[in-house]
Structure 1
Amino acid sequence: MIQNLKEIYEGQARQERYETSKALFQFKMSEGSPVRAHVIKMMGYIQTLEKFGFSLKDELATDFILQSLPDSFNQFVPNFNMNEINKTLPQLLGMLRTAEINLKKVGPKPVLMVRKGKKKGKSTAKSKGDGKTKTDGKEALKPKKGIKKDGKCFHCGKTGHWKRNCPHTPTRSQESKNE
């Protein structure tokens, strides 16, 4: 009868152990949440595994806890590994709470956000500081309303053409003949 009971409940215990270990290995602390609640929950998972006969050494349990911490504890983890190797889980909890208080005093570091996508706004000209502007290549090549031909020629002063098209301006071949 005892043998039958073991066979029946052994499968359930294995499933519970699997679910508990999965929860422990995948448990991550979210940024800004209290470290005390996180570590106590992880310690609960570790104690549950010990009840199923799957005990973790303190060093491995400490590694699981340290790996589950968010990026704000990035400075704490190497310092702990270098200086405090043999600490119990309650001692680790105390150290993490102290580190959390220190992080709140210092405050978050400013973050530069870069957004990928199209530029907003009408103007794409960028000022260089010397009065000149630089535009995108395609916009610089397209005239807005066409070329106006009613301006005065700077060479002869007549309207309808510009200096480069002026019939009174000698061409280069004429200039070389005159010399």
Structure 2
Amino acid sequence: MPLKDSKNLEGENKLIRPNFTDWLRNLRIVLNLEKIGYVLIQDPLLIGIIPDDADVDQLAVHNADVTAFDKWKDDDLRAKSYILASMTNELQRQHEKMSDAKSMVNHLQELYGEYNRIARYEVTKALFRAKLQEGGNVGDHVLNMIGLLQRLEELNISLTLSLK
């Protein structure tokens, strides 16, 4: 990725505790732009041992697996570099020895998932307590409600309406 594109993960988008959700969204945008976002989802391909009596087709499959594994390793290294570059120094020290980008993000989710839970609670509480004040502007109330619903969506909460 050119240096100017990596600026998306610097400055205000650098990972600090309360902005984990925004940071992760920005990270996924950058990794998907680089076409390496799959490393946060997929584990590396396991490569088997070639038997001595392998035929040409088995060798071709094995070579394709080795090529795919090497690509995954290179893409994972790039993703880890983006992740580490977008963290505070303290978080970098805690995560630089982790084996892959997926485990880094999973660990960060465990660390900062509590903040997401609190944020979900606060936004949900605000949504369910929101009332149009008598004589209040309906448009402002609707915009407030839409904003709260969008914030819930950012936190991966979907409210489903089931009427039976």
TM-score by length of 2: 0.35
1 or 2, which has the higher helix percentage? 2
Q: Which has the higher contact order (CA 8 A, sep 6+)?
A: 2
TM-score by length of 1: 0.32
